[in-house]
Amino acid sequence: MPHLNELHEKFGGKGLVIVGVTSESLQLMQPWAEAKGAKYPLVSDPSAKSSEAYGVNGIPAAFLIDPQGKVVWAGHPATLTQESIDKALVGAVSPFGPLTAQLAPVQELIDKHLPGKALALLQTLVKGGTLDERSQQLAAFTTTSLNGEAGRMLAHARELFEGKDVLAAAILLHEAAARYDGSERGKDAQQKLKEIAKDRDCKREVDGAALIAKARQCESDKLYDEAYALYKKASGISHTKAKDEADRAMGQIEAQGMRGFKADCTDCTADGRACKRHRKR
Amino acid sequence: MYERFAATTLALALAAPAFPQVKVGMDAPTIAVDAQLNCPPFTSTADLKGAALLLEFWATW
């Protein structure tokens, strides 16, 4: 069961819906779920029609179904592999979106890639107590998914740090801190960065990582000159991996002819790189 | 009631799988839902179109 909570947090936002089906009553199921802290959807089916339909002759038994409705895996839930899940998730979307009208401002923040602000707003709305029942359920579901995504980023950063890749860990933490700004998970990321930066050598990487994370954001917003300037700054932090990474990224922007790219110039956008008029060398 | 239960058990034991075990590659039967927890309401697994589904049959005991 903790295993299923983990899968729910990890893959819920990616379109995997876990449904625990029991032939017991809701009255039995509810206290059990509360005691165990089950967060994924649970269904009570006292008629046992569903287990009949699946021919279940022993529990626990699980079936993984792809978005087209085909059974792609069946067995004991503990033997389900990530590989099977990844395969089943191809083309999958979360069925509980878009959010209700009451949660429209939350959806807007998610669409703007500001999940931290979305989490903060969800918390405020839930506390305010004005949400209708469906909105409340959606708010809880969305909160779990967003927190799960943030948790994945933080866990990955921890792995990188334990693998001695301080730079990659710090870049990821800076990204997490920016995305989840305004929420608890954003604070966690900030806190972890502070801890890493206590070591003087690591601090130089953390500072470089801050510039690189910002530069990457600029690159994805097609602000190549701003990105280049940030990389150049990071390149000034000598004898660090951050400098190496910044130099590599600057070289790539140059090689791709993106220096001087103007998103509002039709020639630039038509070429997919800086046009003759705007190109910088 | 007890007799019926006993008869069913016997029938199940003799007739082996009374219902086909759903296997990989088969179309997944849809399940009607009336009582649920931890999610927005849906009335059937058919409502979860577009998602990948992990169905787990379990019990509290």
Task: Give chain B positions within 8 Å (CB) of A94.
Answer: 50-51
Residue by residue, pLDDT tens for chain A (281 residues) are 668 988 988 888 788 999 999 999 888 888 888 888 888 999 999 888 999 999 998 889 999 999 999 999 999 998 999 999 999 998 888 777 666 788 889 988 987 889 999 999 999 999 998 888 778 878 888 888 788 778 888 999 999 999 999 999 999 999 999 999 999 999 999 999 999 999 999 999 999 999 999 999 999 888 999 999 999 999 999 999 999 999 999 999 999 999 999 988 999 988 888 998 998 87
Is residue A113 within 8 Å of residue A179, measured between CB atoms?
yes
Cross-chain Cβ contact B26/A26 below 8 Å: no
Q: Give the model's pLDDT for residue A136.
A: 85
Encode burial over A22-46: b for 16+ CB neighbours within 10 A, e otherwise: bbbebebbeebbeeeebbbbbbbbe
* Contact state of A29 with B60 under an 8 Å Cβ cutoff: yes
Q: How far is A201 from chain B (nearest CA, A)?
A: 45
* pLDDT, position A1: 60
Q: What is the mean pLDDT of chain B?
A: 74
Which residue from A minimizes the CA distance to B20? A55
pLDDT-derived band at B5 (thresholds 50, 70, 90) equals: low
Residue B20 Cα, gap to closest chain A Cα (Å): 5
Report the complex ipTM.
0.72
Chain B CA closest to residue A52: B19
Instruction: Please name the member of B18, B55, B60 whose beta carbon is closest to the beta carbon of A21.
Output: B55
Q: Could you list the beta-strand ranges (E) of chain A.
A: 16-22, 42-44, 61-65, 71-75
User: Does residue B9 surpass a pLDDT of 60?
Assistant: no
Q: What is the mean predicted confidence (pLDDT) over B25-36?
A: 88
At B23, give phi and psi (nearest 5°): -115, 165
Smallest Cβ distance to B59: which of A24, A74, A137? A24
pLDDT at B14: 47
DSSP string of A68-80? TSBEEEEE-GGG-
The pLDDT, as a whole number, for residue B20 is 63
A230 near B CB under 8 A:
no
* Residue bearing tokens 């729910």: A8
Choose between B30 and A280: higher pLDDT: B30
Q: What percent of chain B has pLDDT over 90?
A: 23
Instruction: Check CB contact under 8 Å for B41 and A69.
Output: no
* Residue B54 binned pLDDT confidence (cut-offs 50, 70, 90): very high
In this predicted structure, what is the pLDDT of residue B40? 74
Q: Among partner residues B24, B37, B52, which is closest to A30 by beta-carbon distance?
A: B37
Q: In whole angstroms, give the CA distance from residue A60 to residue A274.
A: 59
